[in-house]
Amino acid sequence: MTMPLKAGLVDANVLVYSINADAPKHSASRGLLESALDGSVSLYVTSQVLCEFYSVVTNKRRVSAPLSSSEAVQTLPSFLQFLPVLPTTAKSVDILASLLRRRPVIGGEVFDLQIVATMKANGVLRIYTFNEADFQSFSELEILVP
């Protein structure tokens, strides 16, 4: 990575690429996570990000070599050793409601808003993701690609 590392939230796609050595974005994802592991940067996840990770890595339509439920569950504690989970609080729900009033969405689009609400409630305004378009409408966020 050539950018200076800054504290932020790690999106599910970074976690997915980090465990798939064949993925083109594997090296960048691993490098970012290793920086958190060695203490160079503080990175976070949400419970939703972990659920999205689980959903993707166990889905044969999303990955070429899906993990079994057991294998996917076994990966979670390794992430939690160095990626604290931001809590979803009542403040998060209030922020989500505010975001929904400003930006009404339908269906699954609400999940990105929930991530942003949890980030804002916890004072985290950076996200590391390969899905930049999912978060570009949030001017208060700094979107960083690993």
Tens of pLDDT, residue by residue over 44-99, are 999 999 999 999 999 999 998 999 999 999 999 999 999 999 999 999 999 999 99
The model carries a pTM of: 0.93
Residue with tokens 């990770």: 53
Mean pLDDT, residues 9-13: 98
DSSP-derived secondary structure letter, 74:
H
C-alpha span between 26 and 53 (Å, rounded):
15
Q: What integer pLDDT is reported at residue 4 of this predicted model?
A: 65
Average pLDDT value over all residues in the chain: 94
Q: Which residues contact 28 (CB under 8 A, 6 or more apart)?
A: 1, 17, 145, 146
Mean pLDDT, residues 96-120: 94
C-alpha distances out from residue 10 to 3, 36, 60, 86, 109, Å: 16, 10, 23, 11, 18
Mean pLDDT, residues 132-141: 92
Per residue, the 3-state secondary structure of 45-65, as one string, reads EEHHHHHHHHHHHCCCCCCCC
Mean pLDDT, residues 99-118: 94
C-alpha span between 14 and 131 (Å, rounded):
9
Q: What integer pLDDT is reported at residue 63 of this predicted model?
A: 92
Residue 71: strand pairing partners: none
Q: Which of the four pLDDT bands, split at 50, 70 and 90, describes residue 13?
A: very high
Q: Which residue, 73, 1, 81, is CA-closest to 36?
A: 81
Collapsing DSSP states into helix, strand and coil, what is residue 43? Answer: strand
